[in-house]
Structure 1
Amino acid sequence: MTEIKQCSEIKLVGIRVFCPGNEYIEEIPKASKQLSERVHEIKNVLNPSLQHGAFVVDSCSDEEDGYWVCVEVSDYEDIPENMVTLRIPAQRYAVIRHKGSNEKIRDTYSKLHQWIEGNGYRRLMDQWHLEVFHDWSNPKEIEVELMDTIM
């Protein structure tokens, strides 16, 4: 089921993944595992059982290129070594849940994009998009909310 969510500003702390496009399917799970092992180092975590992925589809700058694997925090404090912060502005999203292999996530994104277009919304390709992972321990059986920024 697809729905619309309005989210207020989100503060994230985590690991930036930057690699050739075809390597993200391998590198994101590695970063996710690393973040899971180091989440205890991050202060003010709101929910350690959720991981957030963030990316800009059409990034215009090197600073926005890549993929961020993070946890949400209430405030930034003593950021651990080799971790980054990211502030996502208040935005509106079209949201669909994906359960299954990370290799099939593109199929779910296709359904989401068709729904967006069919319901008269427009994707904001130059804004931050989110993926909220509820289960990421096994790349063959993930559960994630795919959140496409819309107008």
Structure 2
Amino acid sequence: MTKQFLQNPSIECLDEIKLVGFRILCDGTQYVNEIPKVANQLNERLSEIKNVLNPFVQFGAFVVDSHSENQDGYWVCMQVKEYEEIPEGMVTLTVPPQKYIVWRHKGPNLKIRDAYERLHSWMEANGYERQMDKWHLERFHSWNDTENVDVELLDTVKNE
């Protein structure tokens, strides 16, 4: 039996976030396989990234309803204090200040979608409006074992 970590969501307002890492573009069904591979690749090249704020936390970033080619895909990144000498093959992404509803998932990466469903149900029941055209984040505290990830899902909501 797989353990699920359940909690009540919290609200976070974050300042601008600077990220350095890799952008993944693939068929939607392949992200669940590609993200762990790229996360490991990023971890192997961590020493190449300057100004990393926390080497033990990786960020995923995506726009649910992207209206531009520049926003399509999924980014696997490290947060940096400032951009400096971006390593070969890596990209930068600046996420503006936003308000998030945060829900933590511990368990298989295949169950992250279920965690999002619970989060979205809670948000709807509590009157929060998702911002589908804004950056959403996933803050990974453990990503090496796909059967036991530890990730905070940061779903962007209207900042009122």
- TM-score tier (shorter): over 0.9
1-structure distance, mates of 2:10, 2:121: 13
* Corresponding residue for residue 109 of structure 1: 116
Query: What are the superposed Cα offsets for residues 56-104 of structure 1, whole Å, 9 maximum, x if unpaired?
Result: 0000011100000000000000000000000000000000000000001
Q: CA deviation at 1:131?
A: 0.1
1-structure distance, mates of 2:32, 2:59: 16
* Corresponding residue for residue 88 of structure 1: 95
* Corresponding residue for residue 63 of structure 1: 70
4+ runs deviating over 4 angstroms: none
* Corresponding residue for residue 4 of structure 2: none
Q: CA deviation at 1:119?
A: 0.9
For residue 79 of structure 1, give the secondary structure of its aligned residue in structure 2. Answer: coil
The CA RMSD over aligned residues, in Å, is 0.4
Q: Work out which of the residue numbers 20, 29, 36 in structure 2 matches 1:29.
A: 36
TM-score for the superposition, normalised by structure 1: 0.99
Q: Which runs of 5+ in 1 are unaligned?
A: none
How many pairs are equivalent?
A: 151
**Percent of paired sites with the same residue:** 58
Query: Are 1:119 and 2:126 counterparts?
Result: yes
Query: Are 1:132 and 2:110 counterparts?
Result: no
Query: What are the superposed Cα offsets for residues 126-146 of structure 1, whole Å, 9 maximum, x if unpaired?
Result: 000000000001011000000
2-structure distance, mates of 1:49, 1:4: 22
Spell out the pairing of 1:2-41 with structure 2 (5 A cutoff): 2-41=9-48
For residue 45 of structure 2, give the secondary structure of its aligned residue in structure 1. Answer: helix
1-structure distance, mates of 2:129, 2:20: 28
For residue 81 of structure 1, give the secondary structure of its aligned residue in structure 2. Answer: coil
Q: Which runs of 5+ in 2 are unaligned?
A: 1-7
Q: CA deviation at 1:124?
A: 0.1
2-structure distance, mates of 1:2, 1:121: 12
For residue 137 of structure 2, give the secondary structure of its aligned residue in structure 1. Answer: strand
